[in-house]
Structure 1
């Protein structure tokens, strides 16, 4: 077992070439994976107001259960960086977390899970509200990518990008419960309310696969656009958005009927991660191949603003984010 204190030991300061702004409720944090930095954006003015150095290749991020720290996962630097979600000021860095490409807390906050994409494994940690203790490393060939949890916190689901599979891991036993093939390059995951259906973005295809997590079977495919990648619930009780990273569109899915009910087009290349404004009017999206973040007006489904950031923008977080229903990691 490996015990790791979140708030002691491995913390180190990281210098900031541009001072982060003072605390504000309307800040947006974007990870510039190709720059080893994050960008801090004022939501109201849609201007970059600061940057902060990170480790190499920060891809995804996650708020801690107490809402006091935002965890930035530096996959190549093998570290987790904790920043203030209000102003991106570095609080501490936890070293020796190997290849944390994707990350998430279970809904009951007992478990913290990372997908080590380049190492072909998933690491499961016990979490006591302050410390992470490694419970088990699980080999999962090949290329574990995105993850989400069952609402009862018993299972974490992981897409295996290069083997084209979906795996279900039992958290109590830290063992693989089942795996099924789903298609080419599965990526983002989203569970519909009541754990009825699990949606899988097929980046190597042009659809979203619907998996019955109880029957362990693919039950439907929803045509979207080429490169279906990641999800964001629109918090209206009916719809979830999925980015199509090759088609440069976003599809709107009705998760009750499992139908594609609309498209957002005329976007910049590489739409990837998304976040929703607190009033649910604007959908922000990172354009992975364009060095920009976009703001989409949902009533008109139009791209209304673009914001230049660093290379390969990926994860995005809102300080005043709307509540996610049901709970899912980004």
Structure 2
């Protein structure tokens, strides 16, 4: 009987291996750059399971020591299938880390200028162009040498680079300047500047055949679409508050533009053939940020910045098919085709150790006639909490106070102030603060009933939670 049991176990294992090998996604991987845990999460799209984490540093706030040597604010990502290399940008430590997708091992860390944002491989994978957003240039890294070889001057605050498929031109958006710079990749010179609708563009992407380039405007909730043939703006679409990332994919043989709208927890889908008419909206989890489709156009993966999750969307049905817990505060996300040869290899990966789940709290307008809205994510960081905040459709250039209230119902008292901030010209605010200091066995710390937002000047409650 024992021999039969062993034989059956061997057969089942072989069947499992064969099934995994037959999956069209078994050799692919999905990666996210996690800004609070300072890790890269690795997901297997054939099973939609987290394989583990690549640790690049310690979780926030352990990065604040003067002796800290790890990476901080892990954020930007890009993958080269030819080299099987993942490029990871850490904003806070000015680093570009090159990682082997076969082994999950760090190959080299290259330090560049202040506050880099996103890396982009040239189509031939010979170079990586890194947008150094804290300055006014692109850092060009030679992949073979694993070293910076040139700096290309561009408009202040470059957000990201996207190449035409032939690699001849680089389109560079800016996070501080309302323009796109077109750079000749052979001469490293700007050949044209295109004015755009707003100065804050963190993300830019080229369609598969290169006829369109789309860029997001996070500050105004829009997407600009550029016709590469005329090198001019073809269309500007209003997409919604906190428009984060944009991508393209052929879905059922139609070219679709895919956009994450963080302030509304939406994935919006636009048909390029219908003059970019919106055709679908998918309700996504808390604060969708990075996104990337599978190569066959059947799946889309979306990182949820506040939920610490990745969601897989079936692009054929526009339905969420899986939700995967990952590291804290995912930013960029990439789908890496043929990233590994050995589909069972897990070397270099650590288990997810973010044991405390993030609490996401929505705040809605007290006056139902107003569209004001807020969302906070509360993350445990030892004896305190990190409170990340997004507010939209408030009054512009007004001071507000986020607070806790002990009141069970309205009118709410403001009993513990978390943060005071000023909205921008569009009535938005994005930021973070620490607070909610915990005291062991403290009954008092459990007595708060609601989260509220008040007008700092008048003290009137503008938003309240739905707890």
For the superposition of Structure 1 and Structure 2, which TM-score range results when normalised by the shorter chain? 0.7 to 0.9
Q: Which moved more, 1:152-161 or 1:62-71?
A: 62-71
- Pick the aligned partner of 2:185 from 171, 180, 187: 171
Do structure 1's residue 31 and structure 2's residue 46 form an aligned pair? no
SS of the residue 2:250 aligns to: coil
Do structure 1's residue 271 and structure 2's residue 288 form an aligned pair? yes
How far off is 1:297 after superposition? 2.2
Counterpart-to-counterpart distance in 2, 1:173 and 1:157:
14
How far off is 1:102 after superposition? 0.9
The 3 A distance-change label for structure 1 pair 31 and 151 is: same
Q: TM-score, normalised by structure 2?
A: 0.57
Pairing 1:121-270 to 2, within 5 Å after superposition: 121-126=137-142, 129-141=144-156, 143-184=157-198, 185-192=200-207, 194-236=209-251, 237=253, 238-270=255-287
Counterpart-to-counterpart distance in 2, 1:194 and 1:320:
18
Q: TM-score, normalised by structure 1?
A: 0.79
How far off is 1:26 after superposition? 5.1
The 3 A distance-change label for structure 1 pair 138 and 210 is: same
Verify the 8 A CA contact 1:25 1:86 in the aligned structure 2: no
Instruction: Give the structure with higher Rg (CA).
Output: 2
The 3 A distance-change label for structure 1 pair 29 and 131 is: closer
Q: Which moved more, 1:57-66 or 1:162-171?
A: 57-66
Verify the 8 A CA contact 1:86 1:319 in the aligned structure 2: no
Counterpart-to-counterpart distance in 1, 2:188 and 2:295:
36
Structure 1 stretches of at least 4 aligned residues deviating more than 6 Å after TM superposition: none
1:291 match: 308
Structure 1 gaps of 5+ residues are 1-23, 323-330
Indicate the structure whose relative CO is greater, using CA pairs within 8 Å and at least 6 residues apart. Answer: 1
The 3 A distance-change label for structure 1 pair 35 and 151 is: same
User: RMSD value over aligned CA atoms?
Assistant: 2.7
Structure 2 gaps of 5+ residues are 1-25, 57-70, 340-467
The 3 A distance-change label for structure 1 pair 53 and 299 is: same
Q: Once the two structures are superposed, what CA deviation does each residue of 1:38-57 show, in whole Å capped at 9, x if it has no partner?
A: 12234344333322211222
Counterpart-to-counterpart distance in 1, 2:215 and 2:29:
30
2:54 match: 52
Q: Once the two structures are superposed, what CA deviation does each residue of 1:109-164 show, in whole Å capped at 9, x if it has no partner?
A: 4442110112232223455x4554512341521x2112201233222111112222
Counterpart-to-counterpart distance in 2, 1:287 and 1:265:
14
Q: More helix by proportion, 1 or 2? A: 2
SS of the residue 1:235 aligns to: strand
Number of aligned residues? 296
Counterpart-to-counterpart distance in 2, 1:211 and 1:45:
37
Q: Once the two structures are superposed, what CA deviation does each residue of 1:243-275 show, in whole Å capped at 9, x if it has no partner?
A: 122222112122233323323332122212112
How far off is 1:288 after superposition? 1.7
Verify the 8 A CA contact 1:121 1:137 in the aligned structure 2: yes
